[in-house]
Amino acid sequence: MTSVNRPEGEISELSARMRTFIDTEVVPEESVLAREDDTAHATLARLKARAKELGLWALGHPAELGGGGVPFLDFVYLNEIIGRSEFGMLAVGSVSMQDTLMLYRHGTEEQRARWIPPMVSGDILPSVGLTEPEVAGSDPTLIATQAELDGDTWIINGHKWFTTGAAQAAYCTVFARTEPESVPRHSRISAIIVPTDTPGFEIVRSIPTMGHDPSDHYEVRLTDVRVPAANLLGERGQGFVVAQDRLGPGRISHCMRWLGQAQRAYELMCAREHPVRTRIVARRKG
C-alpha cells in the first residue's frame, strides 16, 4: 500500500488496527446489527464506543472539528478496510464525513455550530436529497423540487428518492430549484437544510436496494415544508457546486468500500467448503 501524504508506516499501522477491529469486532456482530432492534442499537453503541477507545473514530473528519485529521488520500485506503463490513462506516463514524465537509465548506457559523459537533461525535446522522423519481439523477440540473422564499421562510415542495438514511437522520440537505430562469442551468438549484421533523417532510417508504428490503434508502415527499431563510446552505443558485463538493470525495470512498466488500466476498468464496469437492477429498483420503 502506498501513501501520498503520510509516511507509509503510519498509515499501514492504522490500516492494520482498522482491519483487526472490523474483522474481529464488527463482522462477528453483523447478524445482530442487521436485526435493527434494541439489541442491534445497543451493539452498535458498544462498537462506536470501542472505535473511539481504539482511536479509530471519525478518522477522515478534519482534526479542528474533532476528527482524526487523516489526509484524504490516506483515508481512501482505510475505506477499503471499513467497507469489509456493511456496518463499518457506522461503527467507526465515517458515515457523516461527506456532509461534515460540505457544511464546513459552505455552512454559516450557526449552521456549523448546530450540526457539525453532534455529527462528528456520532450522536446524529445527516442525509442528502438530490435524486428524484421523475427526472434523471445523473443530471442535477433537472431537479424539479421547488423552493420559494416567502418573507424569511423557504417553502419547499417536491419528491425525492434513494435518500440514504432519511428516516434516521436529524436533517436532510434538500436540493431544490430556486432560480428557475437562471442561465446557465447549473445555477438554478440551491441547497437548503431541512430538519427531518419539519411538518411536511414525509418518509413515504424504504426502497428495496441491492438485495436489502427494507433498505436504508428512502422515498421522501416534501409538501409545503417551511424552514427559515437562514437554512440556505451556500449561496442561492450555487446548489450544483455544493452538491459536487459533497459527491466528489464520496465517489472515491464508495468505490474503495466496494473493493473491500468484493475482497471479503472473494475470501469467503475461497474459504467455502464446496460439498462436491469435500466429498472427493474425503473419498481420496479414504
Ligand X SMILES: Cc1cc2nc3c(=O)[nH]c(=O)nc-3n(C[C@H](O)[C@H](O)[C@H](O)COP(=O)(O)OP(=O)(O)OC[C@H]3O[C@@H](n4cnc5c(N)ncnc54)[C@H](O)[C@@H]3O)c2cc1C
Beta carbon of residue 138, minimum distance to ligand X (angstroms, whole number): 3
- Residue 270 sits at the vertex; the CA angle it makes with 268 and 275, to the nearest 5 degrees, is 95
**Best CA proximity match to 132, nearest among 197, 185, 204:** 204
Beta carbon of residue 251, minimum distance to ligand X (angstroms, whole number): 10
For 192, which DSSP code? E
* Rounded Cα–Cα distance for residues 196 and 41 (Å): 20
Beta carbon of residue 85, minimum distance to ligand X (angstroms, whole number): 16
Comparing CB distances to ligand X, the nearer of 68 and 165 is: 165
Comparing CB distances to ligand X, the nearer of 57 and 175 is: 175
Comparing CB distances to ligand X, the nearer of 12 and 206 is: 206
Residue with cell 411538518: 199
* Rounded Cα–Cα distance for residues 32 and 60 (Å): 27
Residues that bind ligand X (CB under 6 A): 128-131, 136-138, 162-164, 209, 217
Comparing CB distances to ligand X, the nearer of 24 and 138 is: 138
Name the residue number minimizing CB distance to ligand X.
Answer: 137
Beta carbon of residue 52, minimum distance to ligand X (angstroms, whole number): 25
Comparing CB distances to ligand X, the nearer of 163 and 178 is: 163
* Rounded Cα–Cα distance for residues 191 and 99 (Å): 12
Other beta carbons within 10 Å of 208:
11
Beta carbon of residue 208, minimum distance to ligand X (angstroms, whole number): 11
Give the SS3 label for residue 74.
helix
